[in-house]
């Protein structure tokens, strides 16, 4: 077995409980010094020396998604989904530190009034809508769901009718695409808040990699556009408004960087939403520009979970459960040529 195929030990400072700790902290200067010593001890070359570039793309490993205290915890049906995923992701990164050329972490980033938040909407009587529900184009046409007119001054230049027309057009475009209908979530990953931050154990591991491999620690912010969703790390769901105005732009820098790699390993939250949308868009780009790249997309299947929100009023039931959608998506990606791997395996040699 080649040296590149061997795994490194997990550093002694990491503990499983760190992955579940909302307040996990570390001394950055001490971590940088530990990385330098680790690099020397294990003769780890700088990332610029890699003959084969492997990128680890961590999708939305943020506190609001990955910890039970978070606003939109991705517990899966077991209730421990993202907690266990984080531990596996972190160990996987440490063990393969010398093989990952780069690590990119995305940050779902939101503000109080966005089209996928319940507070954006009111019913026919002007009452706010509740989260954990769909809004359909037909409901918007009938006035059963409409953007709160009070938001028009800062979302539509004061034109409440333009905002209503845009909301209708948006729902129509989503439904015409056949992927899903607009779904309303509770507020999560609000910019500047604790829940927006990466889980401490993930932040520690990505910085340790950066200092150890002398490589940049890429962060990708997504999701700030008010009038379109941005599940995918590569682009918003809808790019243009009903009157031709731009709603958002693809992340060309990230697309080019990923397609320039020899392999991209993808993990994070949630398998049913942001991971799923990211892989879908990456597959589209690969098929369009280099069909052979599809086989270079490796999905860390035990490093992601589906959204499954328990119903507190009905034991064993869920307010929302997207497990089937996640499983169907993974099977479809594999059928398309992407590769499913597990954190306990050695990274493939080819």
pLDDT confidence band for 350 (50 / 70 / 90): low
pLDDT confidence band for 3 (50 / 70 / 90): very low
pLDDT at 5: 59
- What global pTM score does this model have? 0.96
Please report, for the chain, the start and end positions of each structural domain, with discontinuous segments joined by +.
27-112+188-341, 118-184
Tell me the per-residue pLDDT of 27-58, one tens digit each, with 9 for 90 and over.
999 999 999 999 999 999 999 999 999 999 99
Q: Which of 254, 324, 255, 250 is nearest to 283 (CA)?
A: 255
Bond into 270 cis (ω within 30): yes
Distance, in Å, from the CA atom of 90 to the CA atom of 72, rounded to the nearest integer, reads 21
Tell me the per-residue pLDDT of 104-141, one tens digit each, with 9 for 90 and over.
999 999 999 999 999 999 999 999 999 999 999 999 99
pLDDT at 138: 98
Domain 27-112+188-341, CATH: 3.40.50.850
In 96-250, which residue ranges form alpha helices assigned H by DSSP? Answer: 137-142, 152-155, 160-177, 200-213
Tell me the per-residue pLDDT of 294-338, one tens digit each, with 9 for 90 and over.
999 999 999 999 999 999 999 989 999 999 999 999 999 999 999
Q: Which of 250, 272, 208 is nearest to 59 (CA)?
A: 272
Distance, in Å, from the CA atom of 211 to the CA atom of 194, rounded to the nearest integer, reads 25
Give the up-direction half-sphere exposure of residue 160: CA atoms within 13 A in the CB hemisphere: 9
pLDDT (average), residues 284-294: 96
């Amino acid at each position: 077995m080649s040296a590149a195929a061997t795994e490194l030990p997990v550093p002694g400072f990491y503990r499983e409980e760190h992955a579940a700790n909302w307040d996990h902290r570390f001394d950055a200067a001490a971590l940088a010094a530990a990385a330098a010593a680790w690099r020397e001890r294990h003769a780890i070359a700088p990332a610029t020396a890699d003959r084969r570039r492997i990128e680890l793309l961590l999708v939305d490993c943020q506190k609001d998604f990955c910890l039970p205290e978070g606003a939109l915890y991705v517990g899966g049906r077991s209730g421990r989904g993202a907690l266990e995923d984080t531990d596996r992701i972190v160990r996987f990164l440490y063990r393969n530190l010398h093989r990952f050329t780069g690590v990119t972490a995305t940050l779902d980033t939101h503000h109080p009034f966005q089209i996928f938040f319940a507070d954006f909407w009111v019913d026919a009587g002007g009452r706010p809508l509740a989260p954990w529900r769909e809004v359909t184009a037909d409901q918007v046409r009938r006035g059963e769901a409409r953007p709160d007119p009070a938001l028009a001054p800062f979302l539509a230049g004061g034109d409440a009718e333009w905002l209503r027309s845009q909301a209708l057009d948006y729902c129509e475009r989503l439904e015409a695409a056949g992927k899903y209908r607009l779904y309303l979530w509770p507020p999560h990953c609000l910019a500047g808040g604790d829940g927006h931050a990466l889980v401490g154990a993930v932040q520690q591991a990505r910085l340790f990699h950066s200092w150890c491999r002398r490589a940049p620690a890429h962060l990708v912010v997504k999701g700030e556009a008010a009038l379109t969703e941005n599940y995918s790390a590569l682009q918003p769901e809808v790019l243009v408004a009903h009157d031709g105005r731009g709603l958002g732009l693809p992340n060309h820098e990230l697309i080019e960087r990923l397609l320039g790699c020899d392999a991209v390993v993808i993990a994070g939250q949630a398998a049913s939403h942001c991971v799923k949308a990211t892989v879908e868009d990456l597959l589209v780009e690969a098929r369009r520009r280099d069909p052979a790249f599809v086989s270079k997309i490796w999905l860390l299947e035990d490093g992601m979970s589906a959204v499954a929100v328990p119903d507190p009023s009905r034991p064993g039931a869920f307010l929302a459960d997207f497990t089937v959608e996640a499983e169907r998506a993974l099977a479809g990606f594999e059928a398309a040529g992407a590769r499913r791997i597990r954190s306990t395996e050695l990274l493939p040699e080819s």
